[in-house]
Homo-oligomer: A and B are copies of this chain.
């Protein structure tokens, strides 16, 4: 499920290039230095004006993230949280203390740490929700440069083309250069529209989607942590959390039982090894 963004950009570029070659258009003419300077430089400048240095430096990280992030595994998290609920129910909330060091996800660990410390439930919810809220804002700010670039690039293309046409119109006396000159002027428009619609806007959409998935994942985790703290029956915890899993991904009863057994076996093994 990993590489859909990379594949998407490659498909977009190849099909458009192939189509252009079939039309007989000189595809490589796109790599026009003046058009690239205007469109890429102008877009970068406009994006930079509208944001902070920190967000600019973050752009390569986000590019990479949009290409490689996997979907969070909701079922695994449900199984994990239900196993904590069982243990808490059996041995008390304090029994979770030993497990804390083994929890990989910092959000889950922070939440259960607060629970084990005997923090008030409302405060646990407040702290974890503040964390989610801050993440949501952070992601929103991080996605903005891509969205903005998607808006600026086509207009930068038009600026490049209008400059080109102004040049052409001032030299109408040499009609034999007219065609190629106008054609070169349009390269900028092409670059602006293509970069926006093949790269910037889709990447922005992808980052937004990743953010929503992570918020959904964390929302489920928060619900589970609060249910554990409230001492809910593990079956009720599972019922509550299952609402967050899309029906198509929900395990059948056998799968659920198998997953629970596997989780127990793994835990027993770990205990033995210790």
Which A residues form the contact surface with B (CB < 8 A)?
1, 4-5, 7-16, 18-20, 22-27, 29, 33-38, 40-42, 44-56, 71, 114, 119, 123, 126-127, 130-131, 133-134, 137-138, 141, 144, 148, 152, 154-156, 158-160, 162-172, 178-180, 182-190, 193-194, 196-199, 201-206, 209, 212-213, 216, 223, 236, 239-240, 243-246
**What are the 10 tightest A-B residue pairs by CB atom distance, in nearest-first order?**
A15-B41, A12-B45, A50-B205, A8-B49, A8-B48, A49-B202, A19-B38, A172-B179, A22-B34, A169-B183
User: Are A4 and B123 in touch, CB under 8 angstroms?
Assistant: no
Number of copies: 5
User: Are B22 and A209 in touch, CB under 8 angstroms?
Assistant: no
Instruction: Point out the residues of chain B lying under 8 angstroms from A54, CB to CB.
Output: 1, 71
Secondary structure of the A contact surface, majority rule: helix
User: Are B159 and A23 in touch, CB under 8 angstroms?
Assistant: no
User: Are B180 and A170 in touch, CB under 8 angstroms?
Assistant: yes
Give Cα A171–Cα B180 distance, bound, in whole angstroms.
Answer: 8
Give Cα A178–Cα B178 distance, bound, in whole angstroms.
Answer: 14
User: Are B52 and A209 in touch, CB under 8 angstroms?
Assistant: yes
User: Are B185 and A23 in touch, CB under 8 angstroms?
Assistant: yes
The minimal Cβ–Cβ distance linking A41 to chain B, given in whole angstroms, is 2
Give Cα A158–Cα B193 distance, bound, in whole angstroms.
Answer: 8
Task: State which of B4, B134, B169, B246 has its C-beta within 8 Å of the C-beta of A179.
Answer: B169
Q: Which residue of B lies closest to A189 (CB)?
A: B162
Q: Which residue of B lies closest to A34 (CB)?
A: B22
Instruction: Point out the residues of chain B lying under 8 angstroms from A7, CB to CB.
Output: 48
User: Are A41 and B16 in touch, CB under 8 angstroms?
Assistant: yes
Question: Do A170 and B183 form a contact, CB below 8 Å, given A20-B34, A46-B8, A52-B209?
Answer: yes
